Amino acid sequence: MTYLKLGKKQANTGSSSAIKSKKLDESCSPSAPSESICTSEASGEASLESNAMHAKMNILVHNDSIDDLLECPICSNSMFPPIQQCPSGHTLCSACKSRVNNKCPICRKDIGNIRCLALEKLAVSLCLPCTYHQLGCEQMFPYYSKVVHESQCSYRPYSCPHPGQNCLFTGGISSLLSHLRDSHEVDLQNGCTFNHRYVKQDPCSVDNVTWTLTLFSCFGQYFCLHFEAFPLGSQPVYMAFLRFLGDEEEARKFGYCLEVGGNGRKMTYQGVPRSIRTHHKTVRDSYDGLIVQRSLALYFSGGDQKELKLRVTGRIWKEI
């Protein structure tokens, strides 16, 4: 959906109507004194100024065909300057010019270095809705500001936070919860405290990243607890961290703590949950969570080197 600003043509229309109105006023009172005529002329000038100012206001008219006009025929994305044009007038974005070997995909003529300045100027006059308006975003943006907003829009869909596979699912929080439970069989637990036991039969080898994911519902929000084992150098390490199903700004309103231990010893970690906007690998690689080296994890498990048995407890709270 695209909205187009109207400009000078409407100003001329408004001006002509104001002049006609003034002439009618004068013709209706031919014997009026000169003072009345001056008053009529003054009001006519005021009407002209008012209409001219009104014409400068941004009037938005629905025009779906503008979307197609500014869409690149190669990548289907909106085109931004420099917009390339072939000798026949067909346009495409500059990024796709090399992809088609400088040949117009429609008429096969050489594209050269011709820019479509008219289309670039048209784009400046447009005010567009956010791509995610159907998800709730009601803001409108100038054509050249739209992409910047959409990269940070709070209504943009979330990617699946499941770490076990490269899942391409995206959606809102409610659809994300259904997807995690139905497609990935992730457990959902209620409450702000948890007590989990992680068992691994062969703790001395971590060929690939292993993981566990659990969902929690508390304070009217949802969180996912990650427990991952991955090689760090030549030795595996175990890491637990919490992510928030929502944006970073909301995530900072909460805190959490984790504790792991055994044989009379324990380790604790306290932090702020990261938003699922941040990829789990980014969180893991920044070591923003509870990290246990293999030797210590085995000591917590009993020290027999045969089986990993880690009990991780924790609590989530809302900051005041």
Asked whether the bond before 87 is cis by omega within 30 degrees of 0, the reply is: no
Indicate whether 76 pLDDT > 90: no
**What pLDDT is stored for residue 237 in this prediction?**
87
Q: In which element (H, E) is residue 110 found?
A: none
Give burial (CB, 10 Å; 0-12/13-18/19+) of 309.
Answer: middle
Tokens 């809102």 -> residue = 172
* Other Cβ atoms within 10 Å of 163 Cβ, number: 23
* Mean predicted confidence (pLDDT) in 294-306: 79
pLDDT in tens, 173-203: 999 999 999 999 999 999 999 998 888 776 6
The pLDDT score that the predictor gives to residue 305 is 64
CA distance readout (Å), 245 to 177, 198, 275: 9, 23, 6
Is the pLDDT score of 136 beyond 80? Answer: yes
* Paired residues of 110 in beta bridges: 103
* pLDDT tens digits for range 203-229: 666 555 567 899 999 999 999 999 988
Predicted confidence at residue 46, as pLDDT, reads: 41
What is the C-alpha R_g of the chain? 32
- Contact present, 104 and 96 (Cβ < 8 Å): no
Alpha helices of 32-153 — where are they, by DSSP H? 34-56, 65-69, 94-97, 117-124, 146-150
pLDDT band at residue 124 under the 50/70/90 scheme: confident
Three-state DSSP at 177 gives helix
C-beta pairs of 154-162 under 8 Å, 24+ apart in sequence: 154/247, 155/130, 156/132, 157/132, 158/245, 158/276, 158/277, 159/276, 159/279, 160/184, 161/213, 161/224, 161/243, 161/245, 161/276, 161/280, 162/186, 162/213
The arithmetic mean of pLDDT across residues 292-320, rounded, is 85
Q: What is the DSSP string of 263-276?
A: TTEEEEEEE-PEET
Residue type (1 letter), 230? F
Q: How confident is the model at residue 235 (pLDDT cuts 50, 70, 90)?
A: confident
11-15, 34-38, 76-80, 237-241, range with the lowest pLDDT: 34-38
pLDDT tier for residue 289 given thresholds of 50, 70 and 90: very high
Q: Comparing C-alpha atoms, which of 187, 197, 222, 226 is closest to residue 209?
A: 226
pTM of the complete model: 0.67
Kindly report, residue by residue over 61-75, the tens digit of the pLDDT: 344 567 678 889 999
The mean predicted confidence, pLDDT, of the chain is 79
Tens digit of pLDDT for each residue in 247-270? 999 999 999 999 998 888 899 999
When pLDDT is averaged across residues 94-100 and rounded to a whole number, the result is: 89
Res. 241 pLDDT band, cuts 50 70 90: very high
pLDDT given for residue 25 in this prediction: 44
- For residue 10, pLDDT over 50 is answered with no
pLDDT in the model for residue 249: 93
Contact yes or no for 241/226 (Cβ under 8 A) = yes
Residue 291 tokens read as: 């990290």
